[in-house]
A and B are shown apart, each in its own frame.
Chain A
Amino acid sequence: MEATIASIVAAAAPLVFAAVGETITEKAGVVNLSLDGSIALSAMASFAVAFLTGSVVLGFAVGAILSALVAMLVAFSGIRLRLNQVAVGFVLTLLLAALAQFLGNPFVRQPGPSVRPMSVPLLSEIPFVGRILFAQNISVYASLVLIVVVAWVFRRTRVGLELAAVGERPEAAHARGISVSRYRFGAAAVGGALVGIAGAAFSLDVKLGWSDTQVAGFGWIALAIVIFGGWRPVWVALGCYLFGALQVLALKLQPVFPGVAQILPSLPFPLMIFTLVVVNSDRLQRLGERFPFLGRLLMSDAPAALGTNFEV
């Protein structure tokens, strides 16, 4: 049991990076739809760099920088060029996936360096929890720390509140002297870097090596999970683990019900649609007002200014 949970936590780490990263970006009102291609490019580039230099750290760094630049380009085209962020992000998705496939051709299925397992002494010996949380590798630890840090920043810090203000009411934020564009560029850069780390974690940790088919689709899953989690870091992370669990379940069901096994991993998409219907339903909103607990569970709407371009 704990071995299965431990493997889910490990396998979901890249998705946590990507989904929490996109949550940060979207919280500021920027939608970076390029995730799927961006993850592919970073996964390829990180592996290529680590393969050529032997340095996993350098691989992660290159992946993070590439995807941060991509996210900045999406933000730039919205903020400065006043273009449709969705259009630019979508084109980038297709372009970067093709680019990764083309440039990554020489590296396909090559064995290369990877993140080494690193148990935390003492803590890993705690029964049950130890094996799940503390007998992993540094990329998994980082994903766990990230969830806690981002949740804390969103709820408890000035930066987090101003970020939310910029995503919800840019006019009001601007009037209070907050620089909307600076926050949006910053959120794009940080979120994009995390997306790049997700790509690197795929090719250097979870899937080991590069081939264009093995990361395809995870960017879209991450985008769906951000919505499913209602733009709340902890819920988003739980969504990632749910997806990881579905994947494990699918693997186990494969020999018995091959058809059902194929469908399970796409469950996040209907769940995403369901979430969107729920948060937009007046009746459920009223129900949520009457029962605060239920309200907190169900109600988490998109940042009001998501995907719009703010003009001073």
Chain B
Amino acid sequence: MKRALRAVPAVWSVLAALVVSVGLLALAGAPPFEALVLVLDGAVGDGGRMADTLMSWVPLTLASAGLVVTFVAGLWNIGVEGQVIAGAIGATWAARTIPGDGLVVIPAALAVGVVAGAVWALAAGVLKTRGGVNEIFGGLGLGFVAQSVATYLIIGPWKRAGIASTSGTEPFREEVWLPTVGGTRLSPVAVLLAVAVIFLVWALLRGTRFGLRLKAVGANPASARLLGVPTEATVLRAFALGGGLAGLAGAVLATGIQHKLVPAIAGGRGFLAILVVLLAAYRIVWVAPIALFFAILSVGSAQLQLRLDLDSSIGGVLQGILVLFVILIGGWQALYRRGEP
């Protein structure tokens, strides 16, 4: 019964999202059902598209997994978008400056990305624990700072020979690209990384002292402190780990997808990851499938634009409606259970 009740918001929300999107598509003068089929076809229609969808899934999953860590500790890490950018900047720096072949440079670039993301998140963490700055606004501000640092690097110190444009840095030398298979853009290393991270975060939250401390701090920081949990250290570690995973997402975007640094390198993926985690209700096992569903929507609606000349933002509309309805209906149910109509 309890499980059935918990499934209700999901069912209603999917229905609501479908109804609204059908309505919107009809409003835009497109055949709604054909369009929805095209979204699916555009995302998983053939091997190449499946590869694109998976490669869109990887950074989204990595950032979402990092967010689960911070959310479980009760931290609203809205700065995740900036941490993704910081990771991409770090990886770009490594790819540009470290000599050697891919075997050396790629791991180094990923590692520098992790460190850069962690440092950026720690800044928000220290601002919170020492400066009393709420992590929502601190993180948001740092996110925009990261964005302008990226833009500055692209048109300043890292500009392409001769031209300063916002179209991006010079592409990395090819041996630094994440290796792909089958003539598609699929990088098995990236997918393995995402799967490993999911498992890691799952194990961390389930079976370690650190995981328990995270949950304790998230549930009630004051009583966690009274029970001897080092609250500040736990909060900072959560930020470092969450930001590190976001940074890894950025590093994958730079080395595996764009092969250079572009101003929109994060492209809202960090923000989208927040929606994924809200929908997953902070549970790591749900992150992988929900992120996959979101990746399908994002990649598929880009195809919709090519084929039906519809704006690709319909994917974002669908994702947003879904999460909004799940939250609202969840709140409504909780109200009902408390016995207040």
Contacts and interface: CB of A to CB of B under 8 A. Distances in A.
Interface of A: 33, 77, 80-83, 86-88, 90-92, 94-99, 101-103, 105, 212, 217, 220, 223-224, 227, 258-260, 262-263, 265-266, 269-270, 272-273, 276-277, 280-281
B141 A273 contact: yes
B152 A262 contact: yes
Nearest to B268: A94
Nearest to B78: A90
Which applies to chain B's interface (DSSP): helix, strand, loop or mixed? helix
Contacts of B127: 273, 276-277
Given A77-B328, A81-B328, 18 more contacts: A33-B136, A81-B331, A86-B136, A87-B327, A91-B320, A94-B268, A94-B271, A98-B314, A98-B315, A102-B317, A105-B28, A220-B140, A259-B156, A260-B152, A262-B152, A266-B147, A269-B144, A269-B145
A262 B157 CA distance: 13
B132 interface: yes
Contacts of B157: 259
Contact of B320 (A95, A273, A281): A95
Interface residues on B, range: 35 or more
11 contacts: A33-B136, A82-B331, A87-B327, A94-B268, A95-B320, A98-B315, A103-B24, A217-B144, A260-B152, A265-B148, A272-B141
A301 B132 CA distance: 12
Contact of B145 (A82, A86, A98, A266): A266
A98 B324 contact: no
B324 A276 contact: no
B339 interface: no
B144 A276 contact: no
A224 B137 contact: yes
Nearest to A224: B141
A306 to B, nearest CB: 9
A3 B314 CA distance: 42
Given A95-B324, A227-B137, A269-B141, A262 B313 contact: no
A82 B271 contact: no
Interface of B: 24, 27-28, 76, 78, 127, 131-134, 136-138, 140-142, 144-145, 147-149, 151-152, 155-157, 164, 268, 271-272, 274-275, 278, 310-311, 313-317, 319-321, 323-324, 327-328, 330-332, 334-335
B141 A262 contact: no
A88 B136 CA distance: 14
B275 A94 contact: yes
A276 B131 contact: yes
Given A258-B156, A280-B131, A269 B331 contact: no
A277 B334 CA distance: 37
Q: Which 6 A-B pairs have the closest CB atoms?
A: A95-B320, A98-B316, A280-B132, A259-B156, A81-B331, A269-B141
A125 B148 CA distance: 41
A145 B243 CA distance: 44
Nearest to B324: A91
Contact of A105 (B134, B275, B311, B319): B311
A49 to B, nearest CB: 15
Given A92-B324, A94-B275, A277-B133, A270 B145 contact: yes
A189 to B, nearest CB: 19
A102 B24 contact: yes
Nearest to A265: B148
